[in-house]
Structure 1
Amino acid sequence: MATAKRFKFSMTLVNELPATDETSASRETEYSDSACTGLRVIVNRKGIKRFLFRYNYQGKKRSMMIGELGAFDVKDARLKAYEFKRLLAEGLDPKTERDSKRAVATFYEFGEEHYLPYSMANKLSFRNDVSILKNYFYPLWRESKLNAIQTQEIQRFMDSLSGKLKPASINRMLSLIHRMLKLACEWGHLTTNPASHLKKLKENNQRTFFLSSEQTTRLLKSCDADGNQSAANFVRLALLTGMRAGEILNSKLEHLEFPDGEASLFLPHTKAGLARSVPLNESALAIIREQQLLMKPSNPYLFAGRFGDKPMSHPKKAFLRIKERAGDLDKLRIHDLRHSFASILINSGSASLYDVQHLLGHHSAQTTEKYAHLASGRLRDVSSHVSDFVANAVRVS
C-alpha cells in the first residue's frame, strides 16, 4: 500500500489509498503523481477519491477539478493534465478556457431556450421550424456546442438529403440553420456564422399557376355556391388581396384600420417577421364586412375557429370542394391565388413590379422578379408607342 504523499500513480495504488483519518485536522489528504507534475489525488474521510490539477498561471497558484475516480482512471486523468499543460504552454489559463466552453450553449439549448421563442413570436411558419428541428437538426446536433458546428458539417448534411427531398425543402432547411446561427451571432452566442457562405440549390420543382379570367369567374361562382361561407370568403379574400393563408387566418377585427379614410388590414406578424399594412380594395372590404357577421362574440379572429378563441384552421377540404365544383382547376393551390393576384395587377397595365412587391409584402425585390415575364405584354404595348412616334416622324419628313 502506498503511504508516501508522492508516488507514481497506478490504479492499484490509487485504489488502495486509505480514507482520511477522522481524527485528522484536515478533512482531505492530497497525494502527488511523480509521473505527471501537477496531477493530484484527493481522498476525503469517506474514502472518495478525486483527481485534481494544480498549476501556476501569471504568478498565481490555481487548481481545477478533473473528476472522481471511476468516471476517470489514472490514464484519463493524466491525459487531461497533459491537455491543461499544453494550454499553459500556449499562454492560456486552462480553467478559464474550460469555463468559457461550458458557457457555450448546445444547439438544442439554443434552439429551445432562444430560437423557438423568437420564432413563435415572429414567424407564421413557426410549426415548420419545430418540425425541421425535431426531425432533422436535433438528432444530428442535439449535444453539439454551437461553436463546434462547422461549415463542412452543415454542407455534408445538406448533401446527404439530395435525392431524398426536393431542392426547395433542402433550401428551407438551409435557410433555417443560417437564420438560427445568424441570430446566435447577433445575440452574442457565436462570433461567426458557419452557414453564411453556403449556397442554396437550384430549385427545379417550382411551378406557378395563374388563373385566367374565365377560371376566376368559375372559381368565384363556386364560392358563392359553397355551404361554408367562411371558407368561401377566405378564398375570395386571398384572390382579392394576395395575402398569404396564414396572414388571413391570423387577422383580427382590431387589425382593420382606416388611415386617411382608406381601408387597410394591419398585419403585425408576416412571414418575413415584419409588420405591414395591406390596402383593401372595395371588394376585399366588402368580404371582410360580410365575414364580420359570421364572427363569434368571444373570438377576436375574423375567421374564427370552431372552438375557443382560436382562428379557423386551414380550409383545405373546403378549398378542394370549391375547386371540384368549379371544374378543371386540379393544378390550383391556395398559394396560387396570391400568384393570380400579382398576375391580374401586372396584366392590368397599371401596376409595376415595385407596386407588386409592396402589395405582396415581399421583403426583397428579387422575390418579385419571378413575375417579371408577366409584364412583357404591357412593355410591348408601351414600346409600340415609340414605333408609332418614329413612323409618324418618317411620314412627316
Structure 2
Amino acid sequence: MPKLKLSKSVVEKIAARDVEIVHWDEALRGFGLRVKPNGTKSYIIQYRSRKTGRSKRQTIGQVGPLISFAAARKEAMRLLSEAAQGGDPVAEKQTARQGKTVSDLASQYLSHHARPKKRPKSVANDISMLNGIILPCMSTRLVAEIGHSDVQALHNGLADTPYRANRTLALLSKMFELSIRWGWRSDNPAKGVERFPEEKRHRWLSEDELSRLTRALDEHPNQTAASAIRLQLLTGARIGEVLTAKWQDFDLNRGFWIKPSHHTKQKRTEHLPLSGTALALLSSIKAGMDADDELVFPGRVAGQPIKDLKRFWKAVLREAGITNYRIHDNRHTHASHLVSSGLSLPIVGRLLGHTNPLTTQRYAHLADNPLREAAEVMASKLAR
C-alpha cells in the first residue's frame, strides 16, 4: 500500500480509485487514510496487539467537518501509544459495544473459574464478597468503564476491616485479570492499588490453657465434635480438612492420613504421618461406628459431615476460661509447641502442608529455647 506524508492538503487532493486503497502516513507509523471507490475517506489506525499478536484496525472518523486532520492525527497518536504500551483499543471498543457489566463478569468468574477450580469454602467466600461488597457498588457498571480510581475508592471504603478489604481487592484483581483473557478489556484497574497492612494473628495456647481446653473437651456432651478438635490439635490440620475426612483417607496400619487434593488448601495430595495418640483416637472413633460409615465425623444429616462448630466452640472456651481464641488457632498451637520443643521450621512446615517457608517463619522466635540450650553446651564445657 502506498505511503505518503499525510497532511490536510494531501488528504483533500487524494482521488478515489476503482478499488479501496489505504494511504499510510510516512511520519506516524500505523496512521492512514482509507479511500473507498465511492470517494468516502476515513482516518484509520492499524497496530499489532502485544497480547495476542493479531493485527487490529480501527476507524477514527470520516474526513469532513466533524473531525479535522489535526484532531484525527492526535487521536491516532493516543491510540497507537496505548497499543504500544500493551493496550488494545479495538478490544476495548468491542467490549463497550457488547455492554458487558461487572455483574456479567461476576457470573462468568464463578462459572468459569471459581466453581471448577476452587474449594467450596473459597467459592462461598467469593460469593459473600461479591454480593455484600462488590456488586452493590458496581453491578451495572460496564467492565470497560471501571477505572483504577473506582477500585481504589472501594478498597478505601473498607479501611475499618483491612483483611476483608485486601481479600476483596484480590478478588477484583483476579476477575479483571480474567476479563483481559476473555477480551472484555485490555488492562487490570486493580493493579497498583496498595493493600492495607495486616496484623497477623499470633495466638496459641500455653501449657496451662491447653490443659484447661483438654478438660473442657472431655466434659462436653458432644464427644463427636470434641474428637474433631482433638484430631485437629494432634495433627495441626485445618478444621475443614478434619470435618470432611473420610475413613478411606486413613491408613491406620501404616499410620498415615492421605489428604485428598480437593480437601487441601494447596490442592495437592498430602501424606501426613499420625502419632500413636492420633491413631488411638481414630481407632476408638471407628470402633463406635458402623462398618459402612464413610465419614469420620458425621453430622445430623445422613451422609453429611458436621457443618458448624460455633456453638460448641463457644461453650468449650467458656468452660475452659479461654478468650480471644479461634478454632483455626489450634493449628498455630500445634505448630508453636512443635517449634518450641526443638523441631526445625522446615519439618513443621511440611507437617502443616506449607508450600512457602515464609508462612512457617512466624514461629521462628519460638525456637529460642532450643537455641539457648545449644549455646549453653559450650559454656558448660568451658566452666568445667
Q: Deviations over 1:231-257 (max 9, x none)?
A: 001110111111112221222223224
Contact 2:100 2:142 in 1 (8 A): yes
Give how far 1:274 is off: 1.8
1: distance between equivalents of 2:203 and 2:370? 20
Q: Spell out the pairing of 1:267-286 with structure 2 (5 A cutoff).
A: 267-269=260-262, 272-277=265-270, 278-286=272-280
Paired residues in the alignment total: 312
Question: 1:370 matched to which residue of 2?
Answer: 362
The letter of the residue matching 2:203 is: F
Q: Is the 8 A contact 1:151 1:194 kept in 2?
A: yes
Cα RMSD (Å): 3.6
Instruction: Give the C-alpha shift of residue 337 in structure 1.
Output: 0.8
1:342 aligned partner: 335
1:218 maps to which of 212, 221, 228: 212
- Contact 1:247 1:267 survives alignment (8 Å): no
CA distance in 1, matches of 2:226, 2:322: 16
- In structure 2, the residue matched to 1:74 is none
The answer to whether structure 1 residue 122 and structure 2 residue 118 are counterparts is yes
Distance in 1, matches of 2:158 and 2:207, equals 40
1:253–1:150 CA distance, 2 compared to 1 (3 A):
farther
Corresponding residue SS for 2:262: coil
Match of 1:358 in 2: 350
Query: Which residue is 2:138 aligned to?
Result: 141
Aligned to 2:30: none
**Residues 136-163 of structure 1 deviation map (CA, whole Å, 9 limit, x = unaligned):** 101222133434332222112111222x
> Normalising by the residue count of structure 2, what TM-score does the alignment of the two structures yield?
0.69
Question: In structure 2, which of residues 147, 151, 155 is the aligned counterpart of residue 154 of structure 1?
Answer: 151
Report the CA distance shift for 1:82/1:141 in structure 2 as closer, same or farther (over 3 A): farther
Calculate percent identity across the aligned residue pairs. Answer: 28
Q: CA contact under 8 A between 1:106 and 1:146: conserved in structure 2?
A: yes
Query: Does 1:263 pair with 2:256?
Result: yes
Residue by residue over 1:46-81, the C-alpha shift from the partner in whole angstroms, topping out at 9 and shown as x without a partner, is xxxxxxxxxx9674899xxxxxxxxxxxxxxxxxx9
**Conserved 8 A contact 1:263-1:280:** yes
Distance 1:262 1:188, change over 3 A: farther
Measured at CA, do residues 96 and 247 of structure 1 come closer, stay the same or move farther in structure 2, by a change above 3 Å? closer
2:195 to 171, 194, 200: 200
Q: Structure 1, unaligned stretches of length 5 or more?
A: 1-55, 63-80
Give the secondary structure class of the aligned counterpart of 2:258. Answer: strand
How far off is 1:315 after superposition?
1.2
Scaled by the length of structure 1, what TM-score is found? 0.67
Look up the SS of the partner of 1:125 in the other structure: helix
- CA deviations on 1:317-372 (whole Å, 9 max, x unpaired) are 122222233x32123321121110011110110x2222222222234222222222
Q: Any idea what SS the aligned residue of 1:265 has?
A: strand
Tell which deviates more after alignment, 303-312 or 377-386: 377-386
Mapped to 1, the partners of 2:302 and 2:72 lie a distance apart of 60
